[in-house]
Amino acid sequence: VKLFEKVGRVFSDALRFATRRPRRTAALRARADIGTYVNRIISDAVLFNELPSPTEKEEVRCNFILRRLTEFGYTEVAVDEHGNVSVIVPASGESVQYVLVFADIRCEEYSPAESLARLEKERVVGRGIAENSLGVSGLLVLAEYLIKNQIQLGLNLVLLFTSFDPGAQETQPLEHFLRGWAARLAFGVNVRGLGLGRVEERPMGTYKLVVTARTPERQVLGTEPGASAITVLANVAHRLGSIRWDSQNDTFLNVARIQAGVGFGWYAAEGVMELEIFSANRDALEMTRKAVGATIANLAAEAGASAEITVKTFFPTGNAEMNTGLNRALQGIQARLKIKSLPVSLPDHSAVLNSLGLPAVSVGIATGRKSFREEYVDIRPIEAGFRQLFSFLEESTRERAGGHA
């Protein structure tokens, strides 16, 4: 009986999409009112942004997504033991291939006060809103848009809400998900809040490292010799900055932040430095990380200090060649929608798919800013961003479906 119920639910979702008017009419009609979905994207981003994160398997955020998808009318929403929430939107034809469309639901910078978003005339302001919540709400509203307008695309879609623990040493939930799905996927799309118009032409692998230096406590007017944490970190920054990391100049190091000090009258006994290493070459990235670690350890030891290095974020190196077709398609749509294309080299979750031999791109749906002090998204471009996402999926799945036929 349970098996029949399950099969029934799967067919129910498929039927919901299948027993309709011709899909092109639905798609054309829907495209006309895509703008009415902008407020839903903003509203969901605001509500989602207020949910605490990180939490164990992001349970609170997963429950929000689960409830939303059920409200939209999806009857077969899957939740796995790693906290991945997914739903399938069946293709219009007989396709056996799927496109993975995913967003990251975890927010490292959530703050109970600063993540309460503020709506201004032209922008939405709040910690986490741009980098994190807008991408999630964009994907949620895409799910709503497809089912409400009865739209089916050339290939099946798997809409996935997953989380990336940037400092995790163990396997990420997305990688767990891909173990069961990679063989059925044609390509992947990472939906992001920021980055409208960006085209990741050279997806760089990235390490963000946190270096904590400690020195013995010393008074400024004391007689004991030794270095302060400030001197140690400044020396490390200076030395690392002068190193050329590979012969092709494909690897870069950036000292993003240095903070140290205890109070007046005392030398700083503890300091923190944040470093980023970027590389378009996977081996060079790993080699550089090891070399940076060794250099820091040596310099700290020479100064009589201790240094502890932790990985704050890791993004694998992507495969630019593999993504060329998708990037061209994305640029074509951007040109048509009058969205200015901006080729960039940035770290990207979609590189995880490249490492499995799958093309993947990131699609940003808004402009805005994330800085140390504030984070916001501009409201006006969201409509174009959402239209871009839908058009990209529609055209690239149609092309692939045609190719396979």
Partner 1 sequence: VKEESPIIANTFHHSEFADTGKLVEQKERQGVTISLAFPTLNEEATLGKEILVLKTELMDRFPLLNEIAVIDSGSTDRTREVAADNGARVFSSRDILRSHGTYRGKGENLWKSLYVLSGDLIVWIDADISNIGPQFVTGLVGPLLRDTRICYVKAFYERPLRAAGELAPSGGGRVTEILVRPLFSLFYPELAYLIQPLSGEYAGRRSVLERLPFSVGYGVEIGHLIDVYHGFGVGALAQVNMDSRVHRNQSVHALGRMAFGILHTFFHRLETYGGARQLRDLGRMHITVSAVDSRHEVSLTEITAEERPPMVELEEYRKKFGAARPG
Is the CB of residue 65 less than 8 Å from the CB of residue 139? Answer: no
Stretches 106-114, 173-181, 247-255, 386-394: which one binds partner 1 (CB under 8 A)? 106-114
Residue 383: C-alpha distances to residues 4, 105, 352, 380 (Å): 41, 21, 28, 7
**What per-residue string of b and e applies to 144-182 under the rule 16 or more CB within 10 Å gives b?**
bbbbebbbbbbbbbbbbbbbbebeeeeebbbbbbbeebe
Helix (H, G, I), strand (E, B) or coil at 297: helix
Rounded CA separation 289/285 (Å): 6
Rounded CA separation 239/124 (Å): 41
**Using CB under 8 A, which of 34, 47, 66, 234 touches partner 1?**
47
Instruction: Tell me the closest approach of the beta carbon of residue 125 to partner 1, in angstroms.
Output: 10
Q: 274, 266, 271: which is closest to 207 by C-alpha?
A: 274
Q: Is 42 in the site for partner 1 (CB under 8 A)?
A: yes
Q: Is 219 in the site for partner 1 (CB under 8 A)?
A: no
Q: Is 46 in the site for partner 1 (CB under 8 A)?
A: yes
**Using CB under 8 A, which of 6, 24, 29, 118 touches partner 1?**
118
Q: Is 202 in the site for partner 1 (CB under 8 A)?
A: no
User: Which is closer to partner 1, CB of 129 or CB of 178?
Assistant: 129
Helices 59-72 and 38-49: crossing angle in degrees, nearest 10, is 150
Instruction: Tell me the closest approach of the beta carbon of residue 169 to partner 1, in angstroms.
Output: 31
**Using CB under 8 A, which of 1, 3, 32, 113 touches partner 1?**
113
Q: Is 39 in the site for partner 1 (CB under 8 A)?
A: yes
Q: Where are the alpha helices (DSSP H) in 157-200?
A: 173-181
Instruction: Tell me the closest approach of the beta carbon of residue 66 to partner 1, in angstroms.
Output: 12
Q: Is 378 in the site for partner 1 (CB under 8 A)?
A: no
Per-residue DSSP letter, 346: -
Secondary-structure breakdown of the chain: helix, strand, coil percentages, each rounded to the nearest 5:
40, 25, 35
Q: Is 121 in the site for partner 1 (CB under 8 A)?
A: yes
Binding to partner 1 by CB under 8 A, coded x per residue (else -) over 59-88, reads --------x---x-----------------
Stretches 34-42, 92-100, 295-303, 345-353: which one binds partner 1 (CB under 8 A)? 34-42
Residues near partner 1 (CB under 8 A) are: 36, 39-40, 42-43, 46-47, 50, 67, 71, 111-114, 116-121
